[in-house]
Amino acid sequence: MIEVLKPGFFTLIQDAGRFGYQEFGIPVSGVLDLDSFRLANWLVGNPMDEAVLEVLFTGPTLKFLIDTYIGITGADMQPMINGVSVQMYTTIKVDKGSFLSFGKLQSGCRSYVSFAGSFQLEKEMGSLSTYTYAKLGGLKGRELRKGDALQLKEVENRKLKVVPEKFHIIPYQIVSVRVVEGTEAVLFLEKELEKFYTHEFVIRSESNRMGIRLEGVYIESPSSFEMLSSGIVKGTIQLPPNGEPILLLADAQTTGGYPRIANVIQADLSLLAQQKPGDRIRFRKISLEEAHSLAYNKKMDFNKVLKN
Amino acid sequence: MIQLIQPLGDVAILLTFGSQINTDTNNEIVNYVHSLKKVKIDGVLEIIPAYVTITIQYDFFKISYKELKEKLESLVVAEVDTRQTKTIKIPVCYDTSLSKDLKEVMSYTGMSKEEIILTHTSKDYLVYMLGFMPGFFYLGGMDTRLFCPRKEKPRLKIEAGSVGIAGEQTGVYSLDSPGGWQIIGKTPLLVFDKNRKENFFLVNQGDTIRFYEISYEEFKQYQK
């Protein structure tokens, strides 16, 4: 068992997602940074889609009542065991009675903490992913709170591993995010599209797991165009009439009614998940073929690590 | 007939069947989805039907965009048997305390509160699709006099049960959520309830909805 002494800012149990219910309006949910998630599970010898803790901004303080192994990836929040710094991106052996705590956020905004084995929790609609809006999954459908207990079984010895440095997240000044053209892009005036691709956007504080709200430059929606609600995917960028783009994430609605100006490619969603309010991003358009070959190359790169 | 096929991001394909909400297009979409599910194309992950579109998410490591496009274009579509015709009556309280945007809707439509309520409750609505949030149902057939644009700036929180209108659409929020619809009332019923094991969702595609007015006191009674 692992006891939650401090919950952190917003800590959720997440797995790869809840599939098959989007036609009923249930979003996929799941981790926002899939890359860090997979690496965290790899570190402790888990299946790649095992549930982990997704930690936002500030980390929790946990007391371990079992011997186990953990892995920490993603944002650097200065993790410590019993007050002594530990390495991220390595397998960490944790002894019964130890405490895991975190310091200050150094880079990114979401850390992933994996535990060898699986949480003793009932899946809801096929997944342990927490979807707080509908109180689905995770621990009672909500974020961790002080006094919560995470039930985990002790496991046999696990191999100690290290994630190569090229897969660690790195802080950027301005992130360049690659997109493919949106389904309603042709309806926008040329100068509005140009603004979208040449200006910097700042992530607003109202952003959450549903979507990243952006500000920076006003983009005019296509005139006299009232769109009918239509399906979206993770990474769809909608443009409401206030001219500020909304970039949809894992907990987003399954359909939306604003023009879709562009769509972030899947290969860049993990990078985007590490951007926090105040961070700046730009968009760069690529072709569908390029997007698919980038995803393919990325998968090959990851497979080289994950097969070990 | 499919009028347009285009990529939606790098993980989905968007089929467009028309540009207006009507029962013919809806029938076509219901039939298409039914046939597509039967065929089970390897690599197709999720199918999200909407008013005039179908979004199909796929695994591009299993099937390329081009291959999938060809399969979708050549899909043989069979007619689906008669739809279920369940009529569901939904109580709505239009009290001023629960209808945040009634004034705005009155000024857009030029109708009084009473006229808006009468118009909203005197029609049968067909459920075109579920989506947007758990169990949320999209209705067609709203009286044209109630047409209203979405809010300029979406609200960060609208309470579950809120009844709204936007464009030519009307519906009920199933969860507390951000949203851009004009709110004209609230129902005490739960549209989505994960504890209602046999029936997570109050309404299904193909059902008919009828709204009826309840007083604020009746609304409060429901919540006990």
Quote the tokens at residue B24: 């013919």
CA distances for A277 relative to A31, A36, B5, angstroms: 18, 20, 36
Q: Which of A22, A124, A133 sits opposite B176 (nearest CB)?
A: A133
pLDDT above 80 for B80: no
DSSP bridge partners of B82: none
> What average pLDDT does the segment A200-209 reach?
96
Region of residue B43 (phi > 0: left; psi between -120 and 50: alpha; otherwise: beta): left
The residues of chain B that CATH labels 3.30.1360.40 are 4-73
For domain B4-73, is the CATH number 3.30.1360.40? Answer: yes
pLDDT above 70 for A193: yes
Q: What is the pTM of this model?
A: 0.88
Residues in A closer than 8 angstroms to B55, CB to CB, are: 230-233
Q: Which of B9, B49, B130 sits opposite A236 (nearest CB)?
A: B9
pLDDT, tens digit, 9 for 90 and up, residues B31-69:
899 899 999 999 999 999 999 999 999 999 999 999 999
Residues in A closer than 8 angstroms to B12, CB to CB, are: 231, 233
In angstroms, what separates the C-alpha of B181 from chain A's closest C-alpha?
10
pLDDT at position B179 is: 87
Q: Which of A19, A233, A295 sits opposite B12 (nearest CB)?
A: A233
pLDDT at position A160 is: 96
pLDDT above 60 for B82: no
Residues in A closer than 8 angstroms to B131, CB to CB, are: 22-25, 229, 231, 253-255
pLDDT above 60 for A306: yes
Annotated domain spans of chain A? 2-167, 174-306
pLDDT at position B81 is: 62
> What average pLDDT does the segment A64-89 reach?
97
Cβ within 8 Å, pair A228-B176: no
pLDDT band per the 50, 70, 90 thresholds, residue B102 = very high
* Separation of alpha carbons B224 and B220, rounded Å: 7
pLDDT band per the 50, 70, 90 thresholds, residue A129 = very high
Within 10 A of B217 (CB to CB), how many other CB atoms are there? 9
> Which of these, B15, B141, B203, lies nearest to A230 by C-alpha position?
B15
pLDDT, tens digit, 9 for 90 and up, residues A234-262:
999 999 999 999 999 999 989 988 999 99
pLDDT band per the 50, 70, 90 thresholds, residue B23 = confident
Chain B 37-76, residues with CB within 8 Å of chain A CB atoms: 45-55, 57, 60-61, 64-65
A122 in contact with B, Cβ within 8 Å: no
CA distances for B133 relative to A86, B44, B137, B170, angstroms: 41, 22, 9, 15
CA angle A44, A45, A50 (to 5 degrees): 85
B131 in contact with A, Cβ within 8 Å: yes
A71, A43 in Cβ contact below 8 A? Answer: yes
pLDDT at position B191 is: 93
pLDDT, tens digit, 9 for 90 and up, residues B161-180:
999 999 888 999 998 888 89
pLDDT, tens digit, 9 for 90 and up, residues A250-297:
999 899 889 999 999 999 999 999 999 999 999 999 999 999 999 999
Out of 3.40.50.300, 3.30.300.130, 2.40.100.10, 3.90.1150.10, the CATH code matching B87-222 is 2.40.100.10
Q: What sign has the CA pseudo-torsion A287, A288, A291, A292? A: negative
pLDDT band per the 50, 70, 90 thresholds, residue B83 = low
Within 10 A of B102 (CB to CB), how many other CB atoms are there? 19
B152 in contact with A, Cβ within 8 Å: yes
> Which of these, A31, A52, A55, A33, lies nearest to A43 by C-alpha position?
A52
Q: What is the DSSP string of B21-69?
A: --HHHHHHHHHHHHHHHHH--TTEEEEEE-SSEEEEEE-TTTS-HHHHH
pLDDT at position A117 is: 93
In angstroms, what separates the C-alpha of B217 from chain A's closest C-alpha?
27
pLDDT band per the 50, 70, 90 thresholds, residue B85 = low
pLDDT band per the 50, 70, 90 thresholds, residue B197 = confident
Cβ within 8 Å, pair B131-A180: no
In angstroms, what separates the C-alpha of A112 from chain B's closest C-alpha?
25
Selected residue with higher pLDDT from A90 and A170? A90
A155-159, A178-182, A201-205, B211-215: lowest mean pLDDT where? A155-159
- Would you call A294 helix, strand, or coil by DSSP? helix
B171 in contact with A, Cβ within 8 Å: no
Selected residue with higher pLDDT from B14 and B170? B14
pLDDT band per the 50, 70, 90 thresholds, residue A308 = confident
Percentage of residues of chain A with pLDDT beyond 90:
89
Percentage of residues of chain B with pLDDT beyond 70:
98
* Separation of alpha carbons A248 and A111, rounded Å: 20
> Which of these, A11, A9, A2, lies nearest to A98 by C-alpha position?
A2
pLDDT at position B153 is: 85
A282, A175 in Cβ contact below 8 A? Answer: yes
Question: What ranges in chain A are assigned the alpha helix state H?
Answer: 34-43, 190-198, 269-273, 288-306
pLDDT band per the 50, 70, 90 thresholds, residue B121 = very high
In angstroms, what separates the C-alpha of B8 from chain A's closest C-alpha?
6
A276, A110 in Cβ contact below 8 A? Answer: no
Chain A 221-280, residues with CB within 8 Å of chain B CB atoms: 226, 228-236, 240-242, 253-258, 260, 263-266
Taking the CA atoms of residue A46, residue A47, residue A53 and residue A59 in that order, the dihedral angle to the nearest 10 degrees is: 50
Within 10 A of A265 (CB to CB), how many other CB atoms are there? 22
In angstroms, what separates the C-alpha of B210 from chain A's closest C-alpha?
21
Q: How many contacts, defined by CB atoms under 8 Å, are there between A and B?
A: 149
Out of 3.40.1350.10, 3.40.710.10, 2.60.120.280, 2.40.100.10, the CATH code matching A174-306 is 2.40.100.10
Backbone angles phi, psi at A15, to 5 degrees: -120, -155
Taking the CA atoms of residue A19, residue A23, residue A25 and residue A30 in that order, the dihedral angle to the nearest 10 degrees is: 20
Q: Which of B45, B65, B132 sits opposite A229 (nearest CB)?
A: B132
